[in-house]
Amino acid sequence: MGERFFGVIAEAYKAWNTELVGFLNRQLKRSPDTAQDLAQETFAKWLAASNGAEPPEKPRAYLYEIARNLLRDHWRREGVRGEHLAASLDDQDFAPQAGSLAADAGTQPEARADVNQRLRLLQAAIDAMPPRQREAFLLYRYDELRCEEIAGRMGISVRAVEKHLQLALAHCKRHVHGEAS
């Protein structure tokens, strides 16, 4: 591994580890031990993926992408992923239709299967978004950042962020509710 790459990771750790742990802790609904573990695993994955590669242009964004992937894996393992995603959709622009995503999954196996299917569709929709659109959407929904903050992080205008979010929400609605693209 190149000395330069190792230096980038070491600097990233110094600069963003505390921030990353805070982000993970919020996402995990105040689970500091798990947040610490996932933050450590985030840096370990980055280190393991380095095999002679050049450091990413935007190391902080790359770091958060790894962390989000680890969160998804964690939620899958813990069985709470569906609950978290359903809660994250409670938004003025993406309110679930009565009886669809908000169905009481505890009562009927059919309802649970329907919720799980819609959540799989939502995950597929998020994965299929263009990278910049997905980045804006995830910063908004999971990092809970305002449009101005997202614009600053992404180096684009607030209007461009709003457009990315509009397109992302419409994309998710189409996929989850089965409408044609």
Structure confidence by residue, pLDDT tens digits, 77-131: 776 444 445 455 444 344 444 444 444 444 567 777 777 777 788 888 888 899 9
Nearby residues of 78 by Cβ (< 8 Å), 6 or more positions away: none
By residue range, what is the domain housing residue 62?
A: 1-80
Answer yes or no: is 123 within a domain. no
> CA separation (Å) from 70 to 2, 22, 52, 67, 147?
25, 15, 23, 5, 25
68 φ/ψ angles, rounded to the nearest 5 degrees? -65, -40
Residues 71 and 133 in one domain: no
Residues 137 and 74 in one domain: no
For 14-44, write each residue's pLDDT tens digit. 998 999 999 998 888 878 888 999 999 988 8
Nearest to 59 by CA among 23, 12, 20, 101: 12
Answer yes or no: is 103 within a domain. no
Domain closes at, from 65, 80, 95: 80
Residue 96, token pair as written in the block: 């679930």
Residues 74 and 8 in one domain: yes
Residue 32, token pair as written in the block: 């500091």
Answer yes or no: is 122 within a domain. no
What percentage of the chain has pLDDT greater than the value 90? 19
> CA separation (Å) from 34 to 6, 26, 27, 38, 142?
25, 11, 11, 6, 17
Tell me how far apart the alpha carbons of residues 125 and 63 are, in angstroms, rounded to a whole number. Answer: 22
**Contact criterion met (CB below 8 Å) for 110 and 124:** no
Domain count, the chain: 2
Residue 141, token pair as written in the block: 């929904």
Stated pTM of the model: 0.45
Answer yes or no: is 91 within a domain. no
Predicted confidence at residue 6, as pLDDT, reads 73
Predicted confidence at residue 167, as pLDDT, reads 92
